[in-house]
């Protein structure tokens, strides 16, 4: 089965050329036969029931654009009655009694959940190698990583194992794997999509968004899942007024001048910027104060929230437990050391240190001040331009096991982290391949709350590539 878009399959289903049960059966078959390890749990029995219901909606003319469409869900997003592990052995037996708001909206639209996609443990990683269920492989080269933490989602879409998937993005976890796997990954404005039911990594930075084969599909899914949710205290009730169109596109000087940028990526990004200029946009070079410190800001704020959020996984309330231990302290210690991976433990320790007495003011409070200053810098930049463009990642996909050093791995997020810190919408689009055939991603960042405007521009950029 080829890589179909959501729009293509909707037409096929509506016309009766294919039927939903046969379609879902074929996608489940492909997922079972795949050796990419893109899924942790398949939803075979329930998916076929959902497909039968979708057929009835289509026959009665009550179909939504997503009715009967096979989708994956990142395994950090809660699904009622379907195992949700967050890529961790500590949640190996956890079956949520409720749906995340985004899943509820997808189900209401008739989307069919094929299964739960593999991911870095608790979304901590940039390669899906920290998953407790083994690494996912890149469909373009099985010796390479698919990116992370939503690597299973991106690989599944790229390999045609689902038409689209929901991922989550804390520092680039939708956009970076989308870049590595040659698909579209969209991180909405913080608060535009409910986080209720997302197993949190860093609550002030996490955002759910779609991974798709094109921008049009991302638009449909975003429209379905976006909106205020009273269950999420950070959900936006209203948006600021949109700025006037300027026909200007900004580039961040520091990003294109970075020594970390691979020559093939730099060339492809510059070519794409030249195409945008030919399409009638003025290109403006921007100097955004503190953008080079984004990674440092992120790796202070994020671990503090990780340490807080992961405190609940103690072997008492739910998940697995080292029950042979006799004292409560022994139970906590053995459970967390045995069932949490190295990266999760590393970030918990770092977050606990940064937030401890004597260091909170020195590190965390300064990082929060810097975050607010960076947000203002972006706000000032968007007074001058409509969008900011550049590379999604410094390189294309790297080999499995190549970047086991934490600092090397963290540098993969150097271009994606700023949008999370500022809460801005951002999207990654495929713009070609390097000399080894691996995909190259192009990032577009929009102003706060202007997601629809960003998606329209992204579609224009995508069309330039198609018409090249």
- Cα–Cα distance between 271 and 129 in angstroms, integer? 32
Which residues 6+ apart lie within 8 Å of 292 measured at CB?
A: 254
179 is catalytic: no
Collapse the DSSP code of 122 into the 3-class scheme (helix H, G, I; strand E, B; otherwise coil) and give the result: helix
248-252 vs 184-187, strand pairing mode: unpaired
Q: Are 39 and 31 in contact (CB under 8 A)?
A: yes
Which residues 6+ apart lie within 8 Å of 260 measured at CB?
A: 394, 395, 411, 414
Cβ burial 408-442 (10 Å sphere, 16+ → b, else e): ebbbbbbbbbbbbbbbbbbbbbbbbebeeebbbbb
- Cα–Cα distance between 165 and 54 in angstroms, integer? 18
168 is catalytic: no
Strand partners for 212: 184
Q: Which of 243, 255, 275 is nearest to 415 (CA)?
A: 255
Alpha helical stretches, state H, 87-214: 101-108, 151-158, 175-181
Catalytic residue among 10, 74, 187, 219: 74
As a whole number of Å, the CA-based R_g of the chain is 21
Q: Are 164 and 461 in contact (CB under 8 A)?
A: no
Catalytic residue among 153, 168, 173, 377: 173
Catalytic residue among 149, 179, 235, 377: 149
317 is catalytic: no
Residue with the two structure tokens 């080829």: 2
* CA separation, residue 220 to residues 10, 29, 106, 178, 375 (Å): 12, 26, 11, 18, 28
Burial of 363 (0-12, 13-18, 19+ CB in 10 A): middle
* CA separation, residue 434 to residues 140, 393, 430 (Å): 12, 13, 11
Residues labelled as active-site residues: 74, 149, 173
């Amino acid at each position: 089965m080829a890589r179909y878009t959501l729009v293509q399959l909707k037409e096929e289903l509506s016309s009766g050329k294919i039927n939903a049960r046969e379609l879902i059966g074929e996608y489940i078959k492909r997922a079972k036969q795949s050796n990419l390890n893109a899924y942790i749990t398949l939803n075979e029995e329930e998916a076929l029931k959902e497909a039968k219901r979708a057929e009835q909606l289509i026959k009665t003319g009550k179909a939504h654009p997503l009715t009967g469409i096979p989708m994956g869900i990142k395994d950090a997003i809660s699904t009622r009655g379907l195992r949700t592990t967050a890529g961790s052995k500590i949640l190996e037996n956890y079956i949520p009694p409720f749906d995340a708001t985004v899943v509820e909206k997808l189900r209401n639209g008739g989307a069919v959940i094929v299964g739960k996609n593999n991911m870095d443990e608790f979304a901590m990683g940039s390669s899906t190698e920290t998953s407790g269920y083994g690494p996912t492989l890149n469909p373009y080269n099985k010796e390479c990583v698919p990116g992370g933490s939503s690597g299973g989602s991106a690989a599944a879409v790229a390999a045609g194992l689902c038409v689209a998937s929901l991922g989550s993005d804390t520092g680039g976890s939708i956009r970076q794997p989308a870049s590595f796997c040659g698909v579209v990954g969209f991180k909405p404005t913080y608060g535009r999509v409910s986080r209720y039911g997302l197993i949190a990594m860093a609550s002030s930075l996490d955002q759910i968004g779609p991974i798709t084969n094109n921008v049009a599909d991302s638009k449909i899914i975003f429209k379905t899942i976006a909106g205020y949710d009273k269950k999420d205290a950070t959900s936006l009730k209203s948006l600021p007024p949109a700025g006037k169109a300027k026909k200007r596109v900004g580039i961040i000087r520091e990003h294109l001048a970075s020594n970390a940028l691979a020559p093939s990526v730099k060339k492809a990004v510059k070519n794409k910027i030249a195409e945008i200029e030919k399409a009638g946009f003025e290109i403006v070079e921007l100097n955004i104060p503190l953008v080079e410190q984004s990674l440092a800001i992120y790796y202070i704020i994020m671990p503090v929230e990780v340490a807080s959020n992961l405190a609940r996984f103690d072997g008492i309330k739910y998940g697995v437990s080292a029950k042979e231990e006799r004292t409560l302290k022994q139970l906590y210690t053995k459970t967390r050391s045995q069932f949490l991976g190295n990266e999760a433990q590393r970030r918990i320790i770092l977050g606990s240190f940064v937030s401890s007495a004597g260091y909170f003011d020195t590190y965390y409070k300064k990082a929060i001040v810097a975050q607010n200053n960076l947000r203002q810098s972006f706000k000032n930049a968007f007074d001058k331009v409509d969008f900011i463009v550049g590379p999604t990642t410094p390189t294309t996909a790297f080999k499995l096991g190549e970047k086991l050093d934490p600092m090397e791995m963290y540098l993969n997020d150097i271009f994606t982290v700023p949008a999370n810190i500022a809460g801005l919408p951002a999207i990654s689009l495929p713009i070609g391949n390097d000399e080894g055939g691996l995909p190259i991603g192009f990032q577009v960042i929009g102003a706060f709350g202007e997601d629809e405007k960003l998606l329209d521009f992204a579609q224009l950029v995508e069309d330039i590539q198609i018409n090249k």
